[in-house]
Amino acid sequence: MTLPRRQFLAGSAALTAGAALGLHSSPSHAQLALGDFKIDVVSDGSLTLPGSFIFDPMPQDELLPILEKHGQSAEVLTPPCNVTLLRHGDRTVLFDVGAGPDFSPNSGILLDSLDALGVSPDDVTDIIFTHAHPDHLWGLLDDFDDPLFPEASYMIGKTEWEYWMNPNTITDIGEARASFAVGAQRRLSMIEDQIRLFEDGEEIMTGIAARATVGHTPGHMALEIRNGSESVMVLGDSIGNDHIAFARPGWISGSDQDPETAAATRSSLMDQLSHEKTRVIGYHLTGNGTGYVDKTSDGYAFVAEA
């Protein structure tokens, strides 16, 4: 299932109306410590999407009671956008760069959130992309189409890079997502000489390892940050919400580009994370996105940290 452009625009209109009513995003913040690794989770605002974007392929008679239990509307989704910042020694690392000003009217506040921590774009030394969807990539450039983080080096999974930079992707991805491909190619081409590609399982920086979590996009990566015996996994969109994705990880979601593969990835990841009690940071999970995966009698649950 793909999201028709008119449905996405309708969601954006709802978001604009919400802003008019005073429902503004704020630079929410959480802090985690892994030894001498300092991790902050900051806000890039939020999105507003029609529920059909995710829920249409799902069995509606089973879906609605789960949504009601979680207080989640079947009509509108308003997921937060949580960006991870890691500081260690002389490195200041961002995992994704948010949506920028051109994707959704209530997102694009990453610079304000970083400024609240005393971090400027010039301070960022490294940027690691989980994938190249607009709300993770389009904050890359400034108003003059120059890289917003001028001192940074960039890293992305090899499969993800090859997919979005393939000229055939613009036509093959489908009309509803064609603008995603155009936007990704334009932005990635601006940093082509500064980007390093990595593979599944690779330690791409000290204490940061790549974990292929494909399906949401063809080369989606989660990143495990480890310091001694402590670890946290930056999920990106491999687990995209804190309700249906946990309660029924094997269900097909309309938000995924390869829904069957994404469902298999999600189920396997849930099993691992719950078994190992791994702390997670989810880009679209509730609040600041930090917490744990708990195994329940009939699925999983997200246990958010205060």
* Domain range enclosing 104: 5-304
Q: Can you give the pLDDT at residue 102?
A: 87
Q: What is the pLDDT of residue 21?
A: 26
Domain count, the chain: 1
Q: Rounded to whole angstroms, how far apart are CA atoms 119 and 77?
A: 30
CATH code, domain with 40: 3.60.15.10
> Each residue of 190-199: b (16+ CB within 10 Å) or e?
ebeeeeebbe
Q: Could you tell me the pLDDT band of residue 29, with boundaries at 50, 70 and 90?
A: confident
Taking residues 24-49, report their average pLDDT: 85
Calculate mean pLDDT across residues 56-70. Answer: 97
Question: With 80 as the cut, is the pLDDT of residue 256 above it?
Answer: yes
Arithmetic mean of pLDDT, 69-76: 96
User: Model confidence over 151-181: pLDDT tens digits?
Assistant: 999 999 999 999 999 999 999 999 999 999 9
Better-scored residue on pLDDT, 93 or 29: 93
Average pLDDT of the segment spanning 184-208:
97
Residue 247 pLDDT greater than 50, yes or no? yes
Residue 28: band (very low, low, confident or very high) from pLDDT cuts 50, 70, 90: low
pLDDT category at 53 given cuts 50, 70, 90 is very high
Q: In what order do the strands lie in the sheet with 126-128?
A: 29-34, 37-46, 80-88, 91-95, 126-128, 153-157, 195-198
How much is the average pLDDT of 246-271?
98
Q: Is the pLDDT of residue 16 over 50?
A: no
Could you read off the pLDDT of 204-222 as tens digits, one per residue?
999 999 999 999 999 999 9
pLDDT for position 287: 87
Residue 233 has pLDDT above 80, yes or no: yes
Whether the pLDDT of residue 20 is over 80: the answer is: no
Predicted structure pTM score: 0.90
| Mean pLDDT, residues 144-149 | 93
